[in-house]
Chain A
Amino acid sequence: MGRIADAMRKAQAERVEVQRLGNAASIDPEVAGVEPLAPDDMVTPPGMRATTLTAATESTVAQTPHGGVDRSIVGISDPTSALAEQYRGLRTWLLRHNTTNEHRSIIITSAMPGEGKSVTALNLAVSLAEVKHLNILMLDADLRRGRIARLLGMQPDAGVAEVLSGEATLSEAIHPTSIRNLSLLPAGCRTHASAAELFSTRTTAALFDEVRERYHYVIVDTPAVQSAADVGVIGGLCSGLLMVIRMGRTPEPVVKQSVRWLQSNNLNVLGCVLTAADRRGRQTLHPFATGGLPR
Chain B
Amino acid sequence: MNPLDELNPPELRNTLTEAWRVVRQRRGWFVASFCLLASAAFVGSLWIPRKYTGSTLFERRNDLVLQSVIGATWDKTFETQRRSLTFDLTGPASLAESLERTSIGRAWPRDENGVLAAAGTAARDMLQNRLADGIEVKMIESTPQRDVVEVRVSDSDAQLASELAASLRESYVERSRKKLRLFLQESLDYFNREYGHGDDQVRRNERRVSELERDYPGLSAEFASRATSEGNQLTTERADLRRKLLELRATEHATMQLAANPAWSAAPASAPVVLRDNPRRTELATEIERVERMMTDERVLRGKTDEHPTLVALRGKLSRLQHDYRSEPERVPAASIPVARAAPPGPLTPAEMLATTQRQIQESETRLAAIQHRLDELEMIRTAALEKRPEYAALNEALRRQQAEMAALQTRIDPIRRILTAQGQDRGVQFVSIREPGSIARPTSPDARAILVACLAIGLAGGAATLVLMEFADRSFRTAAQVTRSLALPVIETIEEIVSPAMRRARLARRFVFAPVTTLFLLCTLTLSGAAAYMSLEAGDRYQQWKRDPLRPQRLFQRATMPLAVQSDEIAPTEQVDRQNEHARTGLAEDTRPTHQPATAQTQFGLAHRPGEEAGQTWDE
Residues of A within 8 A of B (CB): 71-72, 74, 82-83, 86-87, 89-90, 93, 116, 119-120, 242-243, 245, 247-253, 255-256, 259, 269-279, 281-289
Q: Which residue from A83, A252, A259, A281 sits with its C-beta under 8 Å from B476?
A: A252
Contacting residue for B491 out of A253, A276, A286, CB 8 A: A286
A72 to B487, CA, bound (A): 28
Q: Are A278 and B492 in contact (CB under 8 A)?
A: no
Q: B489 touching A259 by the CB < 8 A rule? A: yes
Contact A259 B487 (CB under 8 A): yes
Q: Is the CB of A71 within 8 A of B493?
A: no
Fill in one digit per residue for B463-484: 1 if any A CB lies within 8 Å of its CB, else 0.
Answer: 0000000000011111111111
Given contacts A71-B500, A71-B501, A277-B494, 18 further A-B contacts (CB under 8 A): A90-B495, A93-B493, A243-B487, A247-B494, A252-B477, A252-B482, A256-B487, A271-B491, A272-B487, A272-B489, A273-B495, A274-B480, A275-B497, A276-B495, A277-B495, A283-B18, A287-B480, A288-B490
Contact flag A278-B21 (CB < 8 Å), given A248-B477, A248-B478: yes
Closest to B488 in A: A259
Given contacts A249-B476, A251-B475, A283-B17, whether A276 and B490 have CB atoms under 8 Å apart is no
Q: Which 3 A-B pairs have the closest CB atoms?
A: A289-B490, A277-B494, A286-B491
Name the CB-closest residue of B to A289: B490
Within 8 A of A (CB), among B488-542: 489-498, 500-501
> Which residues of chain A come closer than 8 Å to B497, judged between CB atoms?
275-277
A283 adjacent to B483 (CB under 8 Å): no
Would you give 8 A-B contacts (Cβ < 8 Å), ordered by A? A93-B493, A248-B25, A252-B477, A252-B486, A270-B492, A271-B492, A278-B25, A279-B496
Sorting the interface of chain B by its residue count into under 10, 10 to 19, 20 to 34 or 35 or more gives 20 to 34
Q: In whole Å, how far is B377's beta carbon from the nearest beta carbon of chain A?
A: 137
Please measure, in the bound complex, the distance between the C-alpha atom of A107 and the C-alpha atom of B553, giving whole angstroms. Answer: 68
Q: Return B406 CB to nearest CB of chain A, in Å.
A: 102
How far, in angstroms, from A119 to B495 measured CA to CA in the complex?
A: 11
Cβ-defined contact, A86 with B494, below 8 A: yes
Contact between B492 and A248, CB atoms less than 8 A apart: no
**Which residue of A is nearest B18, CB measured?**
A283
Asked if A242 contacts B492 (CB within 8 A), the reply is yes
A276 adjacent to B492 (CB under 8 Å): no
CA distance A252 to B472 in the complex (A): 12
- State in angstroms the CA–CA spacing of A273 and B498 once bound together: 14
List residues of chain B with CB within 8 A of the CB of A289.
Answer: 490, 492
Bound state CA distance, A100 and B25, in angstroms? 42
Q: Would you call A272 and B490 a contact (CB within 8 A)? A: yes
* B501 neighbours in A (Cβ, 8 Å): 71
Whether the Cβ atoms of B477 and A90 lie closer than 8 Å is: no
Q: How far is the CB of B503 from chain A (nearest CB, A)?
A: 10
Q: Is the CB of A89 within 8 A of B493?
A: yes
B484 to chain A, nearest CB (A): 7
Residue of B nearest to A282 (CB): B17
Could you mark each residue 97-109 of chain B with 1 if its beta carbon is under 8 Å from any beta carbon of chain A, else 0? 0000000000000
For the complex, give the distance between the alpha carbons of A270 and B478 in Å.
20
Interface string of B25-63 (1 = CB under 8 A from A): 100000000000000000000000000000000000000
**What mask results when residues 77 to 100 of chain B are scored 1 for a CB within 8 Å of chain A, else 0?**
000000000000000000000000
Instruction: Tell me whether A273 and B21 are in contact in the complex, defined as CB-CB below 8 angstroms, given that A71-B501, A245-B483, A286-B480 are known contacts.
Output: no
Q: Within the complex, what minimum Cβ distance (angstroms) separates B547 from chain A?
A: 46
Tell which of B486, B489, B500 has the most Cβ of chain A within 10 Å. B489
Closest beta carbon of chain A to B594's beta carbon, Å: 54
Task: Decide yes or no: A273 and B493 within 8 Å by CB, A283-B480, A285-B480, A287-B480 being known contacts.
Answer: yes
Question: How far, in whole Å, are A120 and B498 apart by their CA atoms in the complex?
Answer: 10
Write out the residue numbers on chain A whose beta carbons fall within 8 Å of the beta carbon of B475: 251-253
Q: Is B479's CB under 8 angstroms from A272's CB?
A: no
| Residues of chain B with a CB closer than 8 A to A276's CB | 495-497
Contacts of B482 in A (CB 8 A): 252
Which residue of B has the minimal Cβ distance to A251? Answer: B475
